[in-house]
Structure 1
Amino acid sequence: MTYEDPENSAEAEQPSTFSAQHPALAGWSITDERSYWAFHDDRYTPFLGFAYRKLGSDADAEDAADKTFDEIMNNWQRMLGMENLRGYAWSILKSRISDQRRKRDKQALPTDLAAFAAMVDHRDDFAVVLGRLQFARAVGHLSERQRDAVTLRHGLELDTATAAQLMGVAEATVRSLLSQARARLLQVLDIPSDDGKVRS
């Protein structure tokens, strides 16, 4: 996806009056403004949803998402020259979520474990057999990128292509992370895989 799509090349060289409301936009061309707001509109909602899944609080999630886009805005013109702009934006979001967690002295596990349960829940009595604490500990064995992929795919119910765009990685990478996460959960929880064997 490209974030430079001016309707008029001459107009694109002129800053808009909108920059007066946002000092960080001062001196920007309309092209840069449009590219920033296109990026913002495309990602704010999923970034907010991801932050909520990680923090469990509307206020904390909004604060993390808002601070993320404040930082992106402040660095946007530099980011436009980056090879992996999407990945850099994702790293900013992750940092702001970590900041919110530190303020609350929370552990680094996601608040909502349902997304992870969806990966291995193929039995009607899953909730009865497996306690929440045991499952939370199992999730703690996943890498941070595996947890991110699971949260996006199963928590926010995004397809793998969208999850990959948000994380700034290839779709194949997301599929691999999901597969690794499921195998690791089955192994830690001592649950037989689909072929009837416990994965090692």
Structure 2
Amino acid sequence: IFLLLLQGNVILCGLRNGAIVTADFREKRESLSDRLISHRIPYSSSIGGCKKEWLKLKGDIFPSHTIRMPSSISSLVSLQFDEQYFLASAMDGSIRLYDHRLLQRGAVQSYEGHVNSHTRIQLGVDPTERFVTSGGEDCKLRLWSLKSGELIFEEKFSDSIISTMCYKTYSSCKAEEGNQYKLDSSQGAWLGSHEGLFYMRW
């Protein structure tokens, strides 16, 4: 899983072992040979006890900006109004909000109730960036408050996993006084599963 940050200068890489690695695209190299820097990054594994393991990578990465979630990374989403913040979900059901500047302090917020064990499920953030949305392996759709982490909505209306979603584009938002953003019409999103496409509006 890949995610561009900081105007395309930094990329986040979500790996199958749960690591999220930060790489810098700004430094240009003359060749892509063995001259790339090797990194040996320690992390704690919860599998088979709390033992220290090592992640070996090459390239322009920041070892101090490498974090690890409990399971394989399922989705990465950056916030548009402050791209230092990003959401990450893993295949153990965990969803967390991080500040890229403060990664070593851990997650800024977490979101409880998500159900996932092995499926790649896309996270969704509405254009006003007030809500986090995701389907689950129990075929339910859930909606949390981005700021507080509170579960606001939970309902099953599909017989298959809702794995993708698409909100209206940011061009449909208008800036008003006090830097508040308001949609031109009611909020809604397209939701995709093996059963078909659904449109949800609230």
Alignment TM-score, normalising by the size of structure 1: 0.26
Q: Which is strand-richer, 1 or 2? A: 2
Q: Which is helix-richer, 1 or 2? A: 1
Alignment TM-score, normalising by the size of structure 2: 0.26
Per chain length, whose mean CA-contact separation is higher, i.e. which structure has more relative contact order (CA < 8 Å, sep 6+)?
Answer: 1
